[in-house]
Amino acid sequence: MLQAVTSANRESGDQPWVGRSIERVEDAALLAGRGRFIDDLGVAPGTLHATILRSPHAHADILSIDVDAAKSLPGVAAVLTGTDVKAVTTSLVVGVKAPVECWPIAMDRVRYVGEPVAIVVAIDRARAEDAAELINVEYRPRGAVVDPLGAIVSGAPVLHDGFPGNLASDRSFRYGDPEKAFAEAPHRFSIDIRYPRNSCTPIETYGVVASHDAGEDAFEVLANFQGPFSIHTVIARALKVPGNRLRLRTPPDSGGSFGVKQGVFPYIVLIAAAARITGRPVKWIEDRLEHLTASVSATNRATTLSAAVAADGKILALDWDQVEDCGAHLRAPEPATLYRMHGNLTGAYDIRNVKIRNRVVVTNKTPTGLNRGFGGPQVYFALERLVQRIAIGLRLDPLDVIKRNLIGAGSFPYRTATGALLDSGNYQEAVARAVEHGRLAELKARRDEARAQGRLYGIGFTAVVEPSVSNMGYITTVLTAAERRKAGPKNGAQATATVGLDPVGSVTVHVASVPQGQGHRTVLSQVVADVFGLAPKDIRVNTEIDTAKDAWSIASGNYASRFAAAVAGTAKIAAERVAGRLARIAASQLNVEAADIVFAKGFVASKRNPENRIAFSRVAALSHWSPGSLPDEAGQTIRETAFWTPPELTPPDEDDRINSSLCHGFIFDFCGVEIDRVTLGTRIDRYVTMHDCGTILHPGMVNGQIRGGFAQALGAALLEEYAYAEDGSFLTGTLADYLLPTTTEVPEPEIFHMETPSPFTPLGAKGVGEGNCMSTPVCLANAVADALGVADITLPLVPARLAELVRGAEPPPPAGGASAAAVRGGDRRLRGEGQTAVKGAPEQVWAMLLDPATLQSVIPGCQRVDKITETHFRADVTLGIGPVTGRYRADVELFDLDAPRTATLRGRATGALGFGNAEGRIMLAPDGNGGTTLTYSYDAAIGGKVASIGGRLLDGATRVIIGQFFTALARKAGGGGAEGAGFSLFALLAKLGSLFGGRR
């Protein structure tokens, strides 16, 4: 065994590089426009470009797909549907045991808006999009479910036969004796939470370039995938090749991920399949509309959390009932979002009795996946809202309730009731320092003063344990102990790092960490420079991954905040092994003992006699130039790859206890917010965030992670929601609808640190990147609840929602004036009614309704009408609202005919911009003067692309079109009605653009 190498810099009295905020090695290229992101790299000559046709429906059967017109467009190489993909791939694996398939493209049914239906491959992207518009898909819509609790109600539409009642998993757990604790506790508090859907949405979208070598049946893929590389096995299996025939590489730079780019993997399968089928390299860069609609999102969750509480606020037991909504397919690694926090369901608190029911459901929404915080925001929102409610219920200070329940400072390592082993910490000290440095007393005075002036001001608190370095086995907690025994153990978190010395003695480091901007290359240069007594600039770090050549394992990648704790430490281990051998070589050259060797300032020297030294590069090069002269026991120093996995990460035990993560940082946040009385907008007056993430390797980057996480969490709290209508239409499909925080919304948080090193990691570091995504949303919600004095707070804190909580009855409309249409939340159907005087008699009007020529003239934008039956017509219409135009196929049917008095019209239109359907009831009555009074009512809905990118303007336009139809009908019949409009419109389509951030 090689002896440990002394930390050279410390020995020599110099400051180590680790712990300093040195400038990032990554920055010069990025600041000068020389980054190398996937779409910045060239491709092989002849590479084709793909676009994806996506479902406008949340749930529908695909009756037919006509691709002929698209295929015959010049420049189009192929149009692939589910059938074509199925011929060369197999289903993606599903994370629970159930007879369910999970394809990256719709086979015979679509289950969410945006689900891929066809892939067009052409010589460039624009032509591929031209062709995609020519594909004609016939759908038969099914009922949709979007609410996780609604999905498991009996009679709800079912997405997958293999998930009866849409339930993919239902497991109950029990730790300690929760029943007894609840029976004996003097108080019980309970809270119902609906945590919304959101996503960290990186600014760079997904990208894939794939090729296939038919001779070797091997794929080569470049993708801005982020890991975990357990997914490599999923992709290879889907492509029907062994792992060694799927070479997956990542580009040098990646434009942010925050978990999201894990979700590129289904597209890797699709684009690789397209490359195989076309025999050409194929490139696909996701566009923003695709990304928002269909890339991936965090889970939304319905939680009921109850606590048994003693009179002093001590929590004696928790009872969790979590219903996790994973969207339309259970894609790997789901239901990981739910189980990632399993060991941490008691948060920062010492609670020994816990009861859990975890249900996983599928709904007609985009499948979920990794997102910064990964399960933490959902858990802590319930837990920390409940803590505030306990305080209010018991008339205690919320901070006192937090302190009463914190895990004791002397208890570490601490095993939670559900199995996590909390490595280190001193939560009381962290809270005390935050209260002092963050000036809580003064903040309370500010609140008092504001309230005295009649302003709405509140303070919120949160204490959070931030898990990092996931145990690859936590997901198996979804299986029963018996199922796990059958499947074999899964656990650990293998990290790899390679340190190489070249023939001139310069040092290269490679890790499989796949950064997306975190600065891994810089930190690794610091870590390794310290070991070798060099400067960071002497170390060249490569973080690209190539699964055909590099050391990697299933845990490789950038997720679960594992870099500082696991990867950087592994690099240190690899460097130390090399340094140990170099020390032996140098010792023999310098005629000293290896124990006397120190690495400092570019030299390998004797500690006792620093003048006795040799240049590092000279020792480092020896393995290349003169291997024969090395001491026998030294071995080579050309390259060393270290593998490291912590022994603490064991599989779930027989009682379902799971140490779901290796490290556990601590965060204590508090904040003051003011709510504007008129707008009910939330302004953050002060935000204090205290972190203990163990040893800090680079303070600037740690604060960067905290600020970035804080800003994303602020977005989740105040602005961001992937909104769906009840029919499954997606409503936030542009960056003008899905609102990300900007400079005018994000203040500077006050950041404080303390460092309690982790005993479980080589450098003492813990993860830090995800914590504020867990703590900040609920901290802000607690402050807003405090300001408004309300109990139920739902994110995001949309001012109009707060208005519903705090504003009393609205002043009624003046007598005889307009009245508010009754609208249920989430119901986007448009309803209306009207009346028109018509000169002709009812019989005359009636005849027109059944006449194609009349229909053609009254359906706005109608070009031709074919009569299918006496009461069924098919029409081609071109509709335009302002500049928004599209062609649609419309079906109009008449029902419930009671000539010449009443009829029901049902219409449906479908086109590239989306679809619409409307039902109208027409009543004809003689007006006593030979004319007719035509009364109508309608009920319409619009979906597809126009709904997701133009929601704001859509409804108004629809009303215009429907009104036009009836007005035109009346006019045709010789009625009064409105004058002819100079434009042609139709109902279905419309909406547009509000959104566009830009406006003319």
Partner 1 sequence: MKPPTFDYLRAGSVGEVLEGLAQQGGDARILAGGQSLMAMLNMRLAKPKLLIDIMRLEELRQIERKGDTVIIGAGARQADLLAWPELAEALPLVSLALPWVGHMQTRSRGTICGSLAHADPSAEMPLALVALGGEVFLRNTRRRRRIAAKDFFAGMMLTARAEDELIEGISLPVVKGARVAFREVARRHGDFAIVACAAMKTQAGVRLAVGGVADVPIARDWPELEGTALDDALNAFAWELGARDDVHATARYRRDLVRMIGRDLIGEVLQ
Partner 2 sequence: MTRLKADQRHAVRFSLNGKPVEDEAEPRMLLSDFLRHQLGATGTHVGCEHGVCGACTVVVDGMLTRSCLTLAAQVDGCELKTVEGLAPSADRLGVLQQAFRRNHALQCGFCTAGILMSLDHYLSRHPTPSEAEIRDLLSGHICRCTGYTPIIQAALEAAAELTSSKKETSNA
* Residue 978 in contact with partner 1, rule: CB under 8 A: no
Cα–Cα distance for residue pair 259/201, rounded to 1 Å? 9
Q: Is 977 left (phi over 0), alpha (psi -120 to 50) or beta?
A: left
Residue 141 φ/ψ, nearest 5 degrees: -60, 145
Q: Which member of 228, 376, 473, 519 binds partner 2 (CB under 8 A)?
A: 519
* Residue in 574, 598, 953, 988 binding partner 1, rule: CB under 8 A: 953
Place of tokens 């949160």: 462
Q: Is residue 216 close enough to count as binding partner 2 by CB under 8 A?
A: no
Q: Of these partners, partner 1, partner 2, none, which one is at the site of residue 478 (CB under 5 to 8 Å by kind)? A: none
Q: Which of 710, 915, 938, 986 binds partner 2 (CB under 8 A)?
A: 710
Applying CB under 8 A, does 707 fall inside the site for partner 2? Answer: yes
CB 908 within 8 Å of CB 885: no
3-state secondary structure 931-961: CEEEEEEEEEEEECHHHHHHHHHHHHHHHHH
Q: Which of 193, 946, 968, 969 binds partner 1 (CB under 8 A)?
A: 946
| Structure tokens, 360 | 């996983």
Tell me the closest approach of the beta carbon of residue 129 to partner 2, in angstroms: 10
Q: Is 35 in the site for partner 2 (CB under 8 A)?
A: yes
Residue 494: count other Cβ atoms within 10 Å of its Cβ.
20
Binds 679, which of partner 1, partner 2, none (CB < 5 to 8 A, cut-off by type)? partner 1
Q: Measured from the CB atom, is 416 or 516 closer to partner 2?
A: 516
Helix or strand run (H / E) with residue 221: strand 218-223
* 442 binds partner 1 per the rule CB under 8 A: no
For 917, other C-beta atoms within 10 Å of its C-beta total 21
- Select the residue interacting with partner 2 from 287, 429, 502, 891 (CB under 8 A): 287
Reported in sequence order, the residue ranges of 362-502 that DSSP labels E, i.e. its strands, are 414-415, 421-422, 456-470, 495-501
**Nearest approach, Cβ of residue 739 and partner 1 (Å):** 5
In angstroms, give the least distance from the CB of 873 to partner 1. 25
- For the chain, the C-alpha Rg in angstroms (whole number) is 32
> Closest CB to partner 2 among 40 and 546?
40
Determine which helix (DSSP H) or strand (DSSP E) holds 707, and give its type and residue range.
helix 699-718
Interface with partner 2 includes 44 (CB under 8 A)? no
Minimum distance between the CB of residue 778 and partner 1, rounded to whole angstroms? Answer: 21
By CB under 8 A, the residues from 958 to 997 that bind partner 2 are: 995-997
- Tell me: does residue 957 bind partner 1 (CB under 8 A): yes
Report how far Cα 275 is from the mean position of its chain's Cα atoms: 28
Using rule CB under 8 A, residue 433 touches partner 2: no
The least distance separating partner 2 from the CB of residue 804, rounded to whole angstroms, comes to 28
**First-last CA distance in the chain:** 71
Residue selected from 3, 14, 15, 23 as contacting partner 2 according to rule CB under 8 A: 23
- For residues 534 and 507, the answer to whether their CB atoms sit within 8 Å is yes
Q: Are 77 and 310 in contact (CB under 8 A)?
A: no
CA–CA separation, 803 and 265 (whole Å): 42
Return the H-helix or E-strand segment holding 833: strand 830-838
Of the residues 2, 7, 30, 939, which one makes contact with partner 2 according to CB under 8 A: 30
**376 belongs to the binding site for partner 2 (CB under 8 A):** no
Paired residues of 559 in beta bridges: none
Q: Quick check: 796 binds partner 2 (CB under 8 A)? A: no
Selection from partner 1, partner 2, none that 953 binds (CB < 5 to 8 A by kind) is partner 1
Regarding 883 and contact with partner 1 (CB under 8 A), the answer is yes
Q: Which one of 20, 71, 187, 288 is in contact with partner 2 (CB under 8 A)? A: 288
Q: From the CB of 123, what's the least distance to partner 1, in Å?
A: 13
Q: Are 708 and 518 in contact (CB under 8 A)?
A: no
Q: Would you count residue 956 as binding partner 1 (CB under 8 A)?
A: yes
Residue of the chain from 453, 744, 819, 869 that contacts partner 2 (CB under 8 A)? 744
Residue 74 binding partner 1, by CB under 8 A: no
Residue 295-334 contact track with partner 2, rule CB under 8 A, x = bound: ----------------------------------------
Of these, 318, 913, 940, 988, which contacts partner 1 (CB under 8 A)?
913
915, β-bridge pairs: 910, 943
Which is it for strands 603-606 and 597-600: parallel, antiparallel or unpaired?
A: antiparallel
The entry of partner 2, partner 1, none that residue 27 binds, CB within 5 to 8 Å by partner kind: partner 2
Beta carbon nearer to partner 1, 396 or 736:
736
287 sits near partner 1 (criterion: CB under 8 A):
yes
Sheet holding 109-110, edge to edge: 109-110, 60-66, 136-141
**Considering the rule CB under 8 A, would residue 737 count as an interface residue with partner 1?**
yes
Using DSSP, state whether 821 is helix, strand or coil.
coil
**Is there binding between residue 21 and partner 2 (CB under 8 A)?**
yes
Q: Which letter does DSSP use for residue 750 in this model?
A: E
Q: Are 897 and 871 in contact (CB under 8 A)?
A: yes
| Alpha carbon distance 761, 469 (integer Å) | 10
Q: Which of 591, 654, 818, 979 binds partner 1 (CB under 8 A)?
A: 818
Site map (CB under 8 A) of partner 1, residues 841-880, x = contact: ---------------------------------------x
Q: Per rule CB under 8 A, is residue 666 in the interface with partner 2?
A: no
Measured CA to CA, the distance from residue 817 to residue 845 in angstroms comes to 32
Q: Is 454 in the site for partner 1 (CB under 8 A)?
A: no
Q: What CA–CA distances, in Å, run from 905 to 828, 864, 918?
A: 20, 18, 8
Interface with partner 1, residue 356, by CB under 8 A:
no
The interface partner of residue 818, options being partner 2, partner 1, none and the CB cut-off 5 to 8 Å by kind, is: partner 1
The verdict on 123 binding partner 2 (CB under 8 A) reads no
For residues 916 and 910, give the distance between their C-alpha atoms in angstroms, rounded to a whole number: 7
Which listed option, partner 2, partner 1, none, makes contact with residue 798 (CB within 5 to 8 Å by class)?
A: partner 1
| Residue selected from 202, 376, 458, 771 as contacting partner 2 according to rule CB under 8 A | 202
Residue 743 touches partner 2, criterion: CB under 8 A: yes
Burial 829-853 (b: 16+ CB within 10 A, else e): bbebeeebebbbbbebbbebbbebe
Regarding 949 and contact with partner 1 (CB under 8 A), the answer is: yes
Q: Are 520 and 574 in contact (CB under 8 A)?
A: no
Per CB under 8 A, 683 contacts partner 2: no
Q: Which does 35 bind (CB under 5 to 8 A by kind): partner 1, partner 2, none?
A: partner 2
Six-digit token pair at 937? 């009512």
Residues facing residue 300 across a β-bridge: 325
* Cα separation, 268 vs 285, whole angstroms: 11
CB of 252 to partner 1, least distance (A): 25
Residue 467 to residue 343: CA distance in whole angstroms? 9
Min dist. Cβ of residue 982 to partner 1 (A): 6
Task: Select the span of 500-508, 677-685, 737-745, 884-892 touching partner 2 (CB under 8 A).
Answer: 737-745
- Bond into 900 cis (ω within 30): yes
Instruction: Evaluate whether 120 touches 324 at the Cβ level (below 8 Å).
Output: no
Measured CA to CA, the distance from residue 288 to residue 206 in angstroms comes to 9
Residue 24 binds partner 2, judged by CB under 8 A? yes
**Cβ–Cβ < 8 Å for 771, 691:** yes
Q: Residues in the site for partner 2, rule: CB under 8 A?
A: 21, 23-24, 26-28, 30-35, 37, 39-40, 126, 200-205, 253-256, 258, 287-289, 516-519, 700-701, 703-704, 707-712, 734-736, 740, 742-744, 746-749, 995-998
